[in-house]
Structure 1
Amino acid sequence: MAVKVLIERKVLPGQERRVFDLLRRLRVLCLEQEGYISGETLRDSEDPRTLIVISTWFGLMDWRNWTQSEARKALESQIRIHLAAPERARVLLEGLSEQMSGA
């Protein structure tokens, strides 16, 4: 079952370009990560300092493995210093999970 991950980051004023560059580096690393399907970075039309990353993974374990990788942790620590608030992440499952459908 595919998994979508939405990560919202509120960037400090003047740090948008730096964060975009770091997110690009993060995506390059994702391309080598098992289970990674795709990703995109979006900017809020009403608040350009709010960035949303949406990534798609084959499964929940693929995403969890990526969150524990040293490469991701290193880049995330560089991103964190440019944020006005802690990032917010949501992991979304495709359709109805087995638990919800009663299967």
Structure 2
Amino acid sequence: MIRVLIERNIMDGLDDIYEDAVRSTLQQAISAPGFLAGESMKDSNNSHRRLTLSKWRSIQDWSNWYHSQQRTEIMYKVEPMLSEPEKITILEHA
């Protein structure tokens, strides 16, 4: 089992639009094979910094979702809202 941490920085004034897009992403990821759980959070010290933490059965399941047409279409909407590219960290138990 792995966890995937996605860090994004949102441009000013796009909070509501971004939140809608992230909800859509999580709703679609739920049906992806290997998806176990996910949550979206906001940095309490930086309102522009958003984090999504998801749990996947395997790196392959995550990779399949990451490269899927569904995620690609969502990212076409999300990327213009970002002030810098998203950072993805894959975590596994030591």
Relative to the length of structure 2, the TM-score reads: 0.97
Question: Following the alignment from structure 1 to structure 2, what is the Cα–Cα distance between the partners of residues 16 and 5?
Answer: 22
Give 1:45-64 correspondences, 5 Å limit: 45-64=44-63
Where structure 2 has 5 or more consecutive residues not aligned to the other structure, the ranges are none
Q: Secondary structure at the match of 1:34?
A: coil
For the aligned residues, what is the CA RMSD?
0.6
**More strand, by proportion:** 2
Give 1:9-88 correspondences, 5 Å limit: 9-88=8-87
Question: Following the alignment from structure 1 to structure 2, what is the Cα–Cα distance between the partners of residues 57 and 70?
Answer: 18
Which 4+ stretches in 1 moved above 6 angstroms? none
The structural deviation recorded for 1:31 is: 1.2
Question: Following the alignment from structure 2 to structure 1, what is the Cα–Cα distance between the partners of residues 50 and 88?
Answer: 12
The structural deviation recorded for 1:12 is: 0.2
Question: Following the alignment from structure 2 to structure 1, what is the Cα–Cα distance between the partners of residues 40 and 31?
Answer: 18
Question: Following the alignment from structure 1 to structure 2, what is the Cα–Cα distance between the partners of residues 74 and 35?
Answer: 20
Q: How many residues align?
A: 94
The structural deviation recorded for 1:27 is: 0.6
1:25-82 deviation line (CA, Å, top 9, x unaligned): 0011011100000000010011011000000000110000001100100101110000
For 1:4, the equivalent position in structure 2 comes to: 3
